Amino acid sequence: MKHLLTLVLCLAATPVLANRVFVSNEKGNDVTVLDSETLEVIGSYPVGNRPRGITISPDGKELYVCASDDDLVRVFDPETMEETHTLPSGPDPELFVLHPSGNPLYIANEDDNLVTVVDTETHQVLAEIPVGVEPEGMGVSPDGKVVINTSETTNMAHFIDSETFEITANVLVDSRPRFAEYNHDGSKLYVSAEIGGTVSVIDPATQEIVHKIEFEIPGVLPEAIQPVGVRVTSDGSRVFVALGPANRVAVIDGETDEVLEYLLVGQRVWQMAFTPDEKLLFTTNGNSNDVSVIDVESLEVVKSVPVGQQPWGVVVAPD
């Protein structure tokens, strides 16, 4: 009994670094919140119609959700999940990226071939940037100077100056580019192509494709390998790519761009998010309605957690 008490005291003394994990459920019109430590569901909360892209402010105080069918971005208090306000987003917001400073928010308007830039403090639209057909993927360089948009039917990565809002370059990639992600020193930009089945590695300095990562999984039809979400560890050594209906996450060496391993997750895996300590990676599996939890160190899938209907995006609260 005494032992137990000491143990409890010890536990209480060390702050448990649990972070909230927010999963948007596209068909469920809600967000499921998980605890990153216990991996239990805390609750699910209505967030508007067709929630897809989801992100959180660097200070962890504002949770942003693209409510695609409401044509706006809804903002929630991540603790209470009460809606605090909305942001104008332009029509059909799908995915967005926050400037590293937390302001502004760059939003891809899928139906209208625009990227809308919104000030998260004044809630004003700062610019509408015409891009290619079906803009989706949004990335931002670590220094915040360049915003990347990918257009799914035009098949380009558009480089946008984050201050002047002008397109400075267009890089043609493979079919249906879904996602753009820089590594942390800004030396590589990864752009996934869902139908092309590849990830283009672009040198941001020259805006040229330096390598194309291809995937091959024994027993999986090539057509089912559809890269979508991309996440890179902060040291740049590992790149994770969600392969959609191949139900795998590819692990790539960030130096050599070689595929190291394929991890079996739930069905139709699209988006991913690390915990701040990068020990865990959460994946959204749209067809099995769950989230797979990957141990980044051991590269093992440690758990799957049922969430809502057709989970789409995921973000983890900062420490």
Partner 1 sequence: MFKRIILLLAGVWMMSAPVAAQDQPEATLIPSAVLRVEEAGLPPISRLELPPEDLGFAGARLAIEDNDTTGRFMGQDFEAEEVVTTPDAAADEMDRLIDEGVEFIVVLADDETMLSLADHAGDRVMLFNATAHGDNLRGTDCRANTIHVAPSHAMLADGLAQFLMWKKWSRWFLIEGSHPEDAAFAEALRRSATKFGAKIVEERVYEDTGGARRTDSGHVQVQKQMPVFTQRAAEHDVVVAADDAGIFAGYLPYQTWDPRPVTGSAGLMPRAWHAAMEAWGASQFQNRFEKLTNRPMRDEDYLTWLALRMIGEAATRSQSSDPATLKEFMLSDQFEVAGFKGQKLTMRDWDHQVRQPILLVTDLLLTSVSPQDEYLHQVSQLDTLGIDRSETECTF
**How many whole angstroms separate alpha carbon 148 and alpha carbon 106?**
9
207 near partner 1 (CB under 8 A) = yes
Least CB distance to partner 1 at residue 224 (A): 8
* Number of residues located near partner 1, criterion CB under 8 A: 37
Least CB distance to partner 1 at residue 109 (A): 10
In this structure, what token pair is assigned to residue 220? 């999986």
Cβ atoms of residues 92 and 68 within 8 Å: yes
Q: Among 97-105, 130-138, 229-237, 249-257, which window interacts with partner 1 (CB under 8 A)?
A: 130-138
113 near partner 1 (CB under 8 A) = yes
140 vs 156, beta carbon nearer partner 1: 156
167 near partner 1 (CB under 8 A) = yes
Among residues 70, 71, 134, 181, which is the contact residue for partner 1, using CB under 8 A?
A: 134
Q: Pick from 3, 47, 4, 5: which is nearest to 23 by CA?
A: 47
Across the strands, what pairs with 190? Answer: 181, 201
Least CB distance to partner 1 at residue 176 (A): 5
Cβ atoms of residues 84 and 76 within 8 Å: yes
62 vs 152, beta carbon nearer partner 1: 152
Q: Among 56-64, 110-118, 137-145, 230-238, which window interacts with partner 1 (CB under 8 A)?
A: 110-118
**How many whole angstroms separate alpha carbon 225 and alpha carbon 8?**
47
Among residues 74, 99, 176, 248, which is the contact residue for partner 1, using CB under 8 A?
A: 176
71 near partner 1 (CB under 8 A) = no
In this structure, what token pair is assigned to residue 202? 């672009």
The set of residues, in sequence order, having a beta carbon less than 8 Å from that of 163 and lying 6+ positions away, is 145
196 near partner 1 (CB under 8 A) = yes
Across the strands, what pairs with 66? Answer: 73
* Phi then psi dihedrals of residue 61, to 5 deg: -95, -20
Pairing assessment for the beta strands 30-35 and 41-46 based on DSSP bridges: antiparallel
169 near partner 1 (CB under 8 A) = yes
153 near partner 1 (CB under 8 A) = yes
Q: Pick from 70, 146, 137: which is nearest to 313 by CA?
A: 137
Contact set with partner 1 (CB under 8 A)? 92, 94, 110-111, 113, 128-130, 132-134, 151-156, 158-159, 166-172, 175-176, 195-197, 207-208, 221, 223, 226, 245
